[in-house]
Amino acid sequence: MQWRGRRESSNVEDRRGISGGGLAIGGGIVGVIFVLVKFLLGGGDVSDLQQLAPQQQQMTQEQKAAEDKEAAFVKVVLADTEDVWSKLFSDMGRTYTDPTLVLFNGTTVSGCGNASAQTGPFYCPTDGKLYIDLSFAQQLSEQFGASGEFAMAYVVAHEVGHHVQNLLGEMNQRSQVRGRERQNAASIQTELQADCYAGVWAHSTEQRDLLQSGDVEEGLRAAAAVGDDTLQRETEGRVSPETWTHGSSEQRVHWFQRGYTSGSLDACDTRGESAR
């Protein structure tokens, strides 16, 4: 993605290297794996965040400087999503409110509870903020085989997709359902729609000749890497569709592609979608 020299968003709180308050570890390594699988890329039960509270990892100036390139990239991506969604909302006769991106390392505090690097990037509807520990880019590459700048762009665009859902009232509607099976289905619908919205943004970048060779493939690999079946297979050694909350790798790829191909919010209606 062509991003150097372009506008960076000013809606960013850089908390890297700031103490998270000396929080104690809770839940152990098993709890870390469970919450990571359940909450990765947002959409899980926000109360799960409070199960984890590892010690804040202090950063040296050298470590923070090494992350500055990644920070600059995600700020440019965020700025681009601001422009795209402002235009799309204006076309609908609505006003888009920019979210805030919180960059942190180790742990921080969100409106949804304690946030840690182990839970992965997520969106908190309570405070309207996206939370990202930039070490997730390395984890995407080394642990999930999804390398490349656009893999991280997909992550940012997905979380912004949740913000769009929040502004449109779609997130609140799905949160009202009761019963574990229905809640899981609603969570899957929410996640896949956010993937589709990320694809709508990617469609816009292509229309403006900002994409480079291999970018879309990087985004697709990232979407596939965080499917429930892939995560369960890697962490538990088995696949249990009845427990899914985000959708399979195939579903996540499908809905990102659907948004990317159509460039239309109307194509992102995931009602009726469930684990399969």
Q: Are 262 and 255 in contact (CB under 8 A)?
A: no
3-state secondary structure 172-226: HHHHCCCCHHHHHHHHHHHHHHHHHHHHHHHHHHHHCCCCCCCHHHHHHHHHHHC
Tabulate helix, strand, coil % of the chain (nearest 5): 55, 10, 35
Give the per-residue pLDDT at 263. Answer: 96
pTM of the shown model: 0.81
Show Cβ contacts of residue 269 under 8 Å, excluding neighbours closer than 6 positions: 193
Asked if 54 and 23 touch (Cβ cutoff 8 Å), the reply is yes
Structure confidence by residue, pLDDT tens digits, 126-138: 999 999 988 888 8
What average pLDDT does the chain have?
Answer: 80
Q: How far apart are CA 235 and CA 37, in angstroms?
A: 8
Q: Quick one: what percent of the chain has pLDDT higher than 90?
A: 41
Answer for the pair 141, 147: CB distance below 8 angstroms, yes or no.
yes
Higher-pLDDT residue of 125 and 138 is: 125
Q: Are 190 and 174 in contact (CB under 8 A)?
A: yes
CB 121 within 8 A of CB 99: no
7: left (phi over 0), alpha (psi -120 to 50) or beta: beta
More confident residue, 255 or 48: 255
Q: Is 57 exposed, middle or buried (0-12, 13-18, 19+ CB in 10 A)?
A: middle
Of the two residues 198 and 29, the one the predictor is more confident about is 198
Q: What is the pLDDT of residues 86-111, one digit of tens each?
A: 999 999 999 999 999 999 988 889 99
Contact 119, 109 (CB under 8 A): no
Q: How many CB atoms lie within 10 A of CB 184?
A: 20
Q: From the CA atom positions of the chain, what is the Rg in Å?
A: 17
Which residue shows structure tokens 């965080």?
226
Q: Please tell me the number of Cα atoms within 13 Å of 3 on its side-chain side.
A: 22
At CA 164, angle to CA 185 and CA 142, rounded to 5?
A: 70
- Contact status, residue 268 vs residue 191, Cβ threshold 8 Å: no
> In a 3-state reduction of DSSP, which class is residue 12?
strand
Question: Which of the four pLDDT bands, split at 50, 70 and 90, describes residue 31?
Answer: very low
Q: Quick check: 192 pLDDT over 90? A: yes
3-state DSSP assignment of residue 17 = coil
